[in-house]
């Protein structure tokens, strides 16, 4: 008894604090389980970190901005220091944003960091999502986390949009009007929805306050929860890694969280903050003083949303202005169809993991990140999707394409209309060909080695290039991927000679499966026999 | 008086009266009919018109017709006024280089004196807007804030919020207003060149034009400062998005590659 009390007295202060905390928070078990968590090293695995840190930067700068921003539509006369607006009537929201930009210490820099970080956050999420997509890192067990990530991107778009609308400047007001137009185009309930959202006729006196609560509380609250869930799942699933010597589906090779990744990630946070701060210090964003306060009777050309809403802008811009008049009611197809395509484009990429797993019938766990070339059909689909997205971005900026490349805006609009459908098909075919070509090249490299660039002349006069055999590790990297047999329909009659019924859905699945694993859709990787035969038989050639 | 009336029958009286009458008539004529200066002006004017006509025949007539009546290649110039000529030729748009959706601004090839002569000739074809005097377009003392409001109401839908230009249909465009002189801004509003609507004094009084010119000078002039840094063309979210992707995310990915390449190595593998 006495010895126990003795040792307790001798314990150093740090240990006692840790012990005190552990008794109440259980941090020891948590830390023990996670401190040695391994993260693989690859630059593309840090894209998610860029998103996380820019999100944190947005929250930090956003908190600062809330201290000076007045989410109110009350009309005031500008009396600040920017001369070309003095005496103009504007909402308090615009006025306070002007104050932030010109009077608050560091206000403009913080505002610009906030806005640049938002653009970079969304761009980072887009690239991160594509990285996950093209390496097949969304496969079991990560489908739910893929959806969480997608939801973050989706909510990020709307958080960005509501934030962009808050200063109540002429540009964002036009954007809000655009959104109201889209809401109005919804059959039957459109007008009611619009009246409900704006508290009456557009723009009314309510929308800034409502967008404000959505922008600073509702949407970021949900996003923060999703970010935490996203990270917990990363810990639970462990990180994927690329195949290589010692890197298999059952392990993770990399550096531990503590101390290596803590230092790396912590340092990377400051690097991200630094880069965004430099961008914000160098280039202006959303110069509301130049744009002016919103008035529904005014508009400027080049009224575009931030980039992440650009493809929605494109959909509206290139859609012909069709409408149907029925019994005194107008069905505005010119807006309603884009409004329907907008979520459909996003849903196409969101549900892809589930469609792929249904087509391939692959329900096993995957922890190896695939090389895009080894999944040609998926890669081709992804590139086709990006192509459609990018073509719509061109449509969204058609006026700037016209002025900068001296083209007719009408010609661009027609190009976008046609290539929204044709472009993805071309991209799909071309990408698939490229992937298969790269697979063939890999096969060639495995069997014949790397081209050394050294030309040798044989005694009888023939010139040959010397091929260097690959190292064992490189050979493994190029041949580690699994290849599947295409699915086949069961025989049309069963063992008893009775006709077997195969559903149309199953037939479709088998057909699609062949487009993944059929003869023309993957290049069989070299077998050991082939390799040995070449190595022993012909040698280099 | 008596002295005068006593001599009214003097033989020389008629001569005196005649002289007085002639002097009065001549004096009144000289006072009320400024014949001398008018004659000089008319001479200078007709000389300018003469010279202008010569220049016109060489540089303009192939499209606008020998008498400014217009052809299939160019519109009639009757009634466009000297302000139109001063703008079109003074900004280098005319003579046009080639037909197209719109005639672009280019190097000015005439001197101001020649432009004035051309303007005089075209003005002689029919009444139209007159080249403004400096007092009309000088933005000094005008209200830039009021001008901003007018600009956003009347101009921004084609020329963008701060006059950076914008696209119109079928390859036409509203040109950027960077570096356009107050006189040319005024003339453009007054005459409505090419695809631009005109804003005559009846719809937009002189003072409002001055306000607009003051606003354009304030937000898109040589002395305009951008408080937030590079304006990226002042084109709005498209150029901002491009910048965020290339210099924001691009730089961050470069940094990520650098961080990932410098890992802690326990053992050389």
Q: What's A129's domain CATH number?
A: 1.20.810.10
- Answer yes or no: is A392 within a domain: no
- Answer yes or no: is A198 within a domain: yes
pLDDT for residue B114 is more than 60: yes
pLDDT band at B35 (very low <50, low <70, confident <90, very high): low
Contact A309, A150 (CB under 8 A): no
pLDDT at A2: 47
Q: To the nearest whole angstrom, how far is the Cα of A80 from the nearest Cα of chain B?
A: 12
Q: To the nearest whole angstrom, how far is the Cα of A302 from the nearest Cα of chain B?
A: 6
User: Which residues does chain A have within 8 Å of residue B228's beta carbon, measured at their own beta carbons?
Assistant: 101, 108, 112, 283-285, 287
pLDDT at A541: 47
Q: How many CA atoms lie within 13 A of B88 on its CB side?
A: 24
Contact A397 B264 (CB under 8 A): no
Contact B101, B52 (CB under 8 A): no
User: Which residues does chain A have within 8 Å of residue B248's beta carbon, measured at their own beta carbons?
Assistant: 116, 119-120, 123, 275-276, 279
The Cα B249–Cα A117 span in angstroms is 10
Q: To the nearest whole angstrom, how far is the Cα of B256 from the nearest Cα of chain A?
A: 5
pLDDT at B37: 55
Residue A20 structure tokens: 């005190």
Q: To the nearest whole angstrom, how far is the Cα of A270 from the nearest Cα of chain B?
A: 11
Residue B186 structure tokens: 């005024």
pLDDT at A30: 81
Instruction: Give every CB contact of residue A197 below 8 A, 6+ residues apart in sequence.
Output: A180, A183, A207, A210
Q: Which residue of A has its CA nearest to B144?
A: A84
* B206-223 residue pLDDT tens: 999 999 999 999 999 888
Contact A339, A311 (CB under 8 A): no
Chosen CATH of B134-220 out of 3.40.50.300, 1.10.760.10, 3.30.300.30, 1.20.1250.20: 1.10.760.10
Contact B171 A402 (CB under 8 A): yes
pLDDT band at B98 (very low <50, low <70, confident <90, very high): confident
Domain end (from A234, A267, A301): A301
Among candidates A387, A411, A389, which has minimal Cα distance to A313?
A: A389
Which of A43, A292, A299 is the closest to B148 by Cβ?
A292
Asked if A402 reaches chain B (Cβ–Cβ under 8 Å), the answer is yes
Contact B261 A43 (CB under 8 A): yes
User: Which residues does chain B have within 8 Å of residue A406's beta carbon, measured at their own beta carbons?
Assistant: 171
Contact A86 B247 (CB under 8 A): no
pLDDT (tens, 9 = 90+) of chain A, 541 residues, equals: 444 555 556 788 888 888 888 888 888 888 887 888 888 888 999 999 999 999 999 999 999 999 999 999 999 999 999 999 999 999 999 999 999 999 999 999 999 999 999 999 999 999 999 999 999 999 999 999 999 999 999 999 999 999 999 999 999 999 999 999 999 999 989 999 999 999 999 888 899 999 999 999 999 999 999 999 999 999 899 999 999 888 888 888 888 887 888 888 899 999 999 999 999 999 999 999 999 999 999 999 989 999 999 999 999 999 999 999 988 888 999 999 999 999 999 999 999 999 999 999 888 999 999 999 999 999 999 999 999 999 999 999 999 999 999 999 999 999 999 999 999 999 999 999 999 999 999 999 999 888 889 999 999 999 988 888 889 999 999 998 888 888 888 888 888 888 888 888 988 999 999 989 988 888 888 888 888 888 776 544 4
Asked if B163 reaches chain A (Cβ–Cβ under 8 Å), the answer is no
Q: Structural domain boundaries of chain B?
A: 38-125, 134-220
Question: 3-state DSSP: chain A helix, strand, coil percent, rounded to 5?
Answer: 65, 10, 30
Q: To the nearest whole angstrom, how far is the Cα of B96 from the nearest Cα of chain A?
A: 17
- B-contacting residues of A 109-138, CB under 8 Å? 112, 116, 119-120, 123-124, 127
Among candidates A315, A73, A87, which has minimal Cα distance to A205?
A: A73
**Class of B38-125 in CATH:** mainly alpha
Contact A96, A76 (CB under 8 A): no
Contact A286 B248 (CB under 8 A): no
Q: Which residue of A has its CA nearest to B150?
A: A298
Contact B243 A279 (CB under 8 A): yes
Asked if B196 reaches chain A (Cβ–Cβ under 8 Å), the answer is no
- Answer yes or no: is A359 within a domain: no
Contact A451, A465 (CB under 8 A): yes
- Answer yes or no: is A507 within a domain: yes
List, as one string, the DSSP characters of A153-212: HHHHHHHHHHHHHTT-BHHHHHHHHHHHHHHHTSTTTHHHHHHHHHTSSSSTTTHHHHHH
Domain of A494 in residue numbering reads as 445-538
Contact A401, B166 (CB under 8 A): no
What kind and span of H or E run contains A322? none
The Cα A131–Cα A124 span in angstroms is 10
Contact A290 B260 (CB under 8 A): no
pLDDT for residue B30 is more than 80: no
Q: Are strands B173-174 and B166-167 parallel, antiparallel or unpaired?
A: antiparallel
Instruction: Give every CB contact of residue A346 below 8 A, 6+ residues apart in sequence.
Output: A150, A154
Among candidates A447, A403, A254, A288, which has minimal Cα distance to B240?
A: A288
What kind and span of H or E run contains A241? strand A241-242
Q: To the nearest whole angstrom, how far is the Cα of A455 from the nearest Cα of chain B?
A: 32
> Annotated binding residue at B10?
no
- A-contacting residues of B 76-135, CB under 8 Å? 101
User: Which residues does chain A have within 8 Å of residue B249's beta carbon, measured at their own beta carbons?
Assistant: 50, 120, 123-124, 127
Contact B256 A279 (CB under 8 A): no
Instruction: Please report, for residues A172, B59, B89, B106, B192, the alpha-carbon distance to residue B75 in angstroms, rounded to integers and kept in the order given.
Output: 41, 15, 15, 20, 14
User: Which residues does chain A have within 8 Å of residue B218's beta carbon, measured at their own beta carbons?
Assistant: 83-84
pLDDT band at B40 (very low <50, low <70, confident <90, very high): low
- Answer yes or no: is A83 within a domain: yes
User: What ipTM is given for this predicted complex?
Assistant: 0.90
Q: How far is CA B74 from the centre of its chain?
A: 20
pLDDT for residue B269 is more than 50: no
Which of A46, A78, A86 is the closest to B260 by Cβ?
A46
The terminus-to-terminus CA distance of chain B in angstroms comes to 136
pLDDT at A157: 96
Asked if the domains B38-125 and B134-220 are classified in one and the same CATH topology, the answer is: yes
- Answer yes or no: is A312 within a domain: no
- Answer yes or no: is A330 within a domain: no
- Answer yes or no: is A460 within a domain: yes
Say if residue A162 is preceded by a cis peptide, omega within 30 of 0: no
Q: Could you give the number of structural domains in chain A?
A: 2
pLDDT at B32: 75
């Amino acid at each position: 008894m006495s010895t126990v009390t003795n040792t307790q007295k001798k314990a150093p202060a740090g240990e006692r604090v840790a012990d005190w905390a552990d008794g109440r928070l259980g941090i020891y078990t948590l830390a023990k389980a996670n401190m040695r968590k391994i993260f693989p090293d690859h630059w593309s695995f840090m894209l998610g970190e860029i998103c996380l840190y820019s999100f944190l930067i947005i929250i930090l700068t956003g908190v600062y901005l809330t201290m000076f921003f007045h989410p109110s539509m009350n009309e005031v006369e500008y009396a600040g220091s920017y001369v070309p607006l003095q005496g103009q009537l504007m909402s308090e929201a615009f006025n306070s944003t002007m104050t932030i930009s010109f009077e608050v210490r560091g206000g403009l820099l913080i505002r610009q960091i906030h806005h640049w970080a938002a653009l970079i956050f969304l761009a980072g999420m887009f690239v991160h999502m594509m990285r996950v997509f093209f390496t097949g890192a969304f496969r079991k067990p990560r489908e739910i986390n893929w959806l969480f990530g997608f939801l973050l991107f989706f909510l990020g778009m709307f958080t960005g949009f509501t934030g962009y609308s808050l200063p109540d400047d002429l540009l964002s007001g036009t954007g809000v009007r655009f959104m109201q137009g889209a809401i109005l185009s919804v059959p039957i309930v459109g007008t009611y929805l619009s009246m409900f959202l704006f508290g009456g006729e557009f723009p009314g006196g309510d929308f800034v306050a409502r967008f404000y609560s959505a922008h600073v509380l509702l949407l970021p609250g949900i996003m923060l929860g999703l970010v935490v869930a996203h990270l917990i799942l990363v810990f639970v699933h462990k990180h994927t890694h690329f195949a290589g010597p010692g890197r298999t589906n059952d392990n993770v090779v990399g550096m531990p969280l503590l101390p290596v990744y803590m230092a790396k990630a912590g340092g990377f946070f400051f690097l991200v903050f630094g880069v965004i701060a430099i961008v914000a210090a160098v280039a202006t964003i959303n110069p509301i003083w130049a744009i002016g306060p919103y008035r529904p009777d005014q508009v400027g050309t080049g009224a575009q949303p931030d980039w992440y809403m650009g493809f929605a802008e494109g959909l509206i811009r290139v859609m012909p202005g069709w409408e149907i008049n029925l019994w005194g009611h107008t069905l505005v197809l010119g807006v309603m169809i884009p409004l329907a395509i907008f979520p459909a484009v996003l849903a196409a990429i969101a549900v892809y993991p589930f469609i792929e797993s249904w087509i391939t019938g692959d329900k096993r766990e995957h922890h190896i990140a695939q090389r895009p070339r080894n999944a040609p059909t998926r890669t081709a689909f992804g590139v086709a999707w990006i192509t459609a997205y990018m073509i719509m971005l061109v449509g969204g900026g058609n006026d700037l394409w016209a002025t900068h490349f001296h083209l007719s805006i009408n010609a661009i609009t027609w190009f976008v209309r046609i290539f929204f459908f044709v472009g993805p098909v071309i991209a799909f075919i071309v990408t698939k060909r490229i992937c298969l070509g790269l697979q063939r090249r890999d096969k060639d490299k495995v069997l014949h080695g790397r081209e050394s660039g050294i030309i040798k002349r044989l005694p009888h006069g023939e010139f040959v290039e010397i091929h260097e055999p690959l190292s064992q590790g490189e050979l493994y990297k190029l041949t580690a991927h699994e290849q599947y047999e295409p699915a086949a329909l069961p025989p049309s009659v069963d063992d008893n000679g009775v006709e077997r019924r195969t559903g149309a859905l199953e037939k479709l699945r088998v057909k699609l499966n062949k487009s993944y694993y059929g003869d023309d859709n993957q290049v069989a990787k070299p077998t050991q026999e082939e390799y040995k035969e070449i190595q022993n038989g012909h040698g280099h050639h | 008086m008596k002295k005068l009336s006593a001599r009214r029958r003097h033989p020389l009286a008629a001569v005196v009266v005649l002289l007085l009458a002639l002097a009065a008539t001549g004096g009144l004529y000289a006072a009320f009919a400024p014949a001398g200066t008018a004659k000089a002006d008319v001479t200078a004017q007709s000389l300018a018109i003469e010279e202008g006509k010569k220049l016109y025949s060489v540089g303009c007539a192939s499209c606008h017709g020998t008498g400014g009546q217009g052809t299939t290649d160019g519109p009639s110039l009757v009634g466009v006024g000297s302000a139109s000529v001063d703008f079109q030729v003074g900004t280098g748009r005319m003579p046009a280089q080639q037909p197209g959706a719109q005639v672009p601004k280019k190097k000015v090839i005439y001197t101001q004196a020649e432009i004035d002569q051309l303007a005089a000739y075209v003005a002689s074809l029919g009444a139209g807007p007159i080249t403004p005097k400096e007092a009309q377009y000088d933005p000094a003392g005008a209200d830039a804030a009021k001008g901003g409001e007018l600009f956003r109401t009347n101009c921004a839908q084609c020329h963008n919020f701060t006059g950076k230009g914008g696209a119109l249909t079928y390859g036409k465009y509203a040109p950027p207003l960077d570096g356009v002189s107050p006189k040319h801004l005024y003339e453009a509003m007054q005459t409505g060149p090419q695809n631009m609507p005109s804003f005559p004094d009846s719809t937009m009084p002189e003072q409002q034009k001055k306000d607009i010119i003051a606003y354009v000078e304030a937000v898109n002039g040589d002395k305009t400062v951008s408080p937030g840094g590079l304006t990226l063309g002042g084109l709005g979210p498209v150029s901002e998005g491009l910048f965020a992707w290339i210099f924001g995310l691009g730089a961050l990915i470069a940094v990520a590659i650098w961080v990932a390449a410098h890992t802690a190595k326990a053992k050389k593998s």
